[in-house]
Amino acid sequence: MDLSHFDEQGASRMVDVSQKPTTLRMARASAVVQMQPETLSRIQTDSFAKGNVKEVARLAGIMATKKTGELIPLCHPLGIDAVEVSFADLPTSELRIEATVRVHGRTGVEMEALTAVSVAALTIYDMCKSIDRAMVIHSIQLEEKTGGKSGPFLRTPTKNHED
C-alpha cells in the first residue's frame, strides 16, 4: 500500500483531492477514560466546581473537530456538516466517549472524529485531575466510516479492542 502523504522523492505533501467527487462522509470514533469510582460518581451527579464535566467535554470535542486541519499537519481543513459527542458510563469505573462526524466533501472525517474523542477525553482529565490524577485515557479508535473510494469500515470487536 502506498503512503499518499509522500511524493515519489519521499517529501511530505497534502494529498490532492481536487478531482475526487464530493460525497457524504461519516466517521465514528471512541475513547475511554478509566477513573476511580468516586470520580465517575461525581461526574454523574455534576459535583465539580468547574461545571458539568460531560457538557464541557462535549463542547471541547465539537470545537476540536473544527480545528483538526490546524492540528494535524497534512489533514485537509473541512467545513464540517455535523458533530455529535456522546458519553456512556461503563460498569468498570470508565467513561466511554463517542463522536460521529459528517461532511459532504472530497475527503473523509476519520481524523476529525478521532480528534473529537481525544480532546473530549483530555478535557475530562483536566476537569477531574484535582481529585484523580491516576485517570487513564485509552482505546482511542475508529469504530466506523462510510463514504469515499475506500468504502465502508466497521470495527469488529477483538480481544484487545472490545468496548
**Helical packing angle, 53-71 and 110-128, nearest 10°:** 140
Residue 81: active-site member: no
Residues 2, 46, 89, 126: which is the catalytic one? 126
Enter the DSSP assignment of 4.
Answer: T
What is the C-alpha separation between 127 and 95, in angstroms, rounded? 14
Question: Of 58, 115, 127, nearest to 88 (Cα)?
Answer: 58
57 three-state secondary structure? helix
Q: And the C-alpha cell for 11?
A: 517529501
Which residues are tagged catalytic?
Answer: 126
